[in-house]
Amino acid sequence: MKALVYHGPGQKAWEDVPDPKIQQPSDVIVQIDTTTICGSDLHILKGDVASVAPGRVLGHEGVGTITEIGDGVTTLKVGDRVIVSCIKSCGKCSFCKEGLFSHCLGDEGASGMGWVFGHLIDGTQAEYLRVPYAETSVYKVPEGVPDAEAVMLSDILPTGFEIGVRAGQVKPGDTIAVVGAGPVGLAVIMTSALYGAARVISIDLDANRREQAHKFGATHDVDAAAPDWREQVMALTDGLGVDVAIEAVGIPQTFDACLKIVRPGGNVANVGVHGKSVDLPLQDLWIQNINISMGLVNTNTTPMLLNLVASKKLPAELFATHYFTLDQMMEAYDTFSRAAETQALKVVITRD
């Protein structure tokens, strides 16, 4: 089959690799019908994620059709259309039992690490995929949900909702600020409506993304490069600061921005993946009663979010801006990696 193979920093190729095979009784093989590219894939290609070995097939988001099942699989069958979650879940370990799939102790990839596809085992940017612990790691796609919507449930919608909205304890009537309006920040904005955020301030450097943010539910936007960006946010909150500030970029500057705009007693939810340490001015924060949260997505809210997408309560189609076929994988990467110019949010890459 063909797959997008990582060959070390800056190097990738769409090339022939062996077809995946069932290795464990709980595995299934999925024919990938639709996949997409995540900011994390670009991080890997920059060489930021040392745990990805050259030779690895990338990708952790996908929707496909089961073509083969292991002997132990009873709740899935050949022909089922499924969403592949970016996080594995063995369903049996202590972390999986408490819903902390991000730290699943099953030994596929590495025990204790939930993100395995396109990281520690071969991923979804391929014609076929082996899925371990399949019964607890894939979700059947209901009738009527197109692939281009379902694929947003592999990663970005659960990430924005779990690590942004829920960890940030967004409540009805809150004013929240979301720093970063990439697909993940936009997923935070979209799902913050579920918990009744009244005012949603999108903060980004990119004017196109700030404008897009309004379609996803932002009520205000602020240019992160404006000298008075903080004053603009404070003016929207009677000078008090926002109830919840959510970081969706992954750099020290944007984490710091969240600390500067949160009100006393408020929450800072960090969603971004950081490569450097950040300053934590505890000497100022402790007396402000600030809560700070962070984490790797569990994807334990995927079934709930999928219900909302199926019933058209979450317009997941808004994320899809560009369409490609699998054999145009290199072009899809090029478009996604130049998002500021191409105005790409999520590229949807389909079998045909």
Ligand X SMILES: NC(=O)c1ccc[n+]([C@@H]2O[C@H](COP(=O)([O-])OP(=O)(O)OC[C@H]3O[C@@H](n4cnc5c(N)ncnc54)[C@H](O)[C@@H]3O)[C@@H](O)[C@H]2O)c1
* Site residues for Zn ion per CB under 5 A: 38, 40, 90, 93, 96, 104, 106, 155
**Partner in contact with 248, chosen from ligand X, Zn ion, none, beta carbon below 5 to 8 Å by kind:** ligand X
Candidates 219, 218, 221; CA nearest to 229 is: 221
Residues 6+ apart with CB under 8 A from 242: 174, 175, 176, 177, 201, 233, 261, 262, 263, 266
Distance separating alpha carbons of residues 292 and 350, to the nearest angstrom: 39
Among 26, 34, 36, 40, binds ligand X (CB under 6 A): 40
**Partner in contact with 182, chosen from ligand X, Zn ion, none, beta carbon below 5 to 8 Å by kind:** ligand X
Asked if 249 touches ligand X (CB under 6 A), the answer is yes
Q: Which amino acid is at 69?
A: I
Beta carbon of residue 144, minimum distance to Zn ion (angstroms, whole number): 25
Strand positions, DSSP E, 88-133? 128-131
Beta carbon of residue 140, minimum distance to ligand X (angstroms, whole number): 23
> 292 vs 54, 165, 234, 266, CA distance in Å?
35, 13, 20, 9
Binding residues for ligand X, total number by CB under 6 A:
29
Dihedral of alpha carbons 68, 74, 79, 80, sign: negative
Which among 62-70, 121-129, 174-182, 278-286 is the span making contact with ligand X, rule CB under 6 A? 174-182
What kind and span of H or E run contains 140?
strand 138-140
Among 20, 39, 114, 123, binds ligand X (CB under 6 A): 39
Residue whose CB is less far from ligand X, 4 or 66: 4
**Partner in contact with 106, chosen from ligand X, Zn ion, none, beta carbon below 5 to 8 Å by kind:** Zn ion
- DSSP label at 316? G
Residues 6+ apart with CB under 8 A from 105: 90, 93, 94, 95, 96, 111, 112
Would you put residue 301 in left (φ > 0), alpha (ψ -120 to 50) or beta? alpha
Asked if 51 touches ligand X (CB under 6 A), the answer is no
Interface positions, 180-199, toward ligand X (CB under 6 A): 180-185
Among 155, 174, 221, 243, binds ligand X (CB under 6 A): 155
139, two tokens: 């979700």
Candidates 230, 262, 232, 229; CA nearest to 244 is: 262
Candidates 28, 9, 57; CA nearest to 326 is: 57
Residue whose CB is less far from ligand X, 139 or 336: 336
Beta carbon of residue 96, minimum distance to ligand X (angstroms, whole number): 17
Among 224, 308, 314, 349, binds ligand X (CB under 6 A): 224
Burial zone of 254 (CB within 10 Å; 0-12 exposed, 13-18 middle, 19+ buried) = buried
Among 37, 96, 179, 188, binds ligand X (CB under 6 A): 179
Among 132, 217, 250, 266, binds ligand X (CB under 6 A): 250
**Partner in contact with 100, chosen from ligand X, Zn ion, none, beta carbon below 5 to 8 Å by kind:** none
Among 44, 262, 272, 337, binds ligand X (CB under 6 A): 272
Asked if 253 touches ligand X (CB under 6 A), the answer is yes
Asked if 206 touches ligand X (CB under 6 A), the answer is yes
- Residues of this chain that bind ligand X (CB under 6 A): 38-40, 155, 159, 163, 179-185, 203-206, 209, 224, 248-250, 253-254, 271-273, 296-297
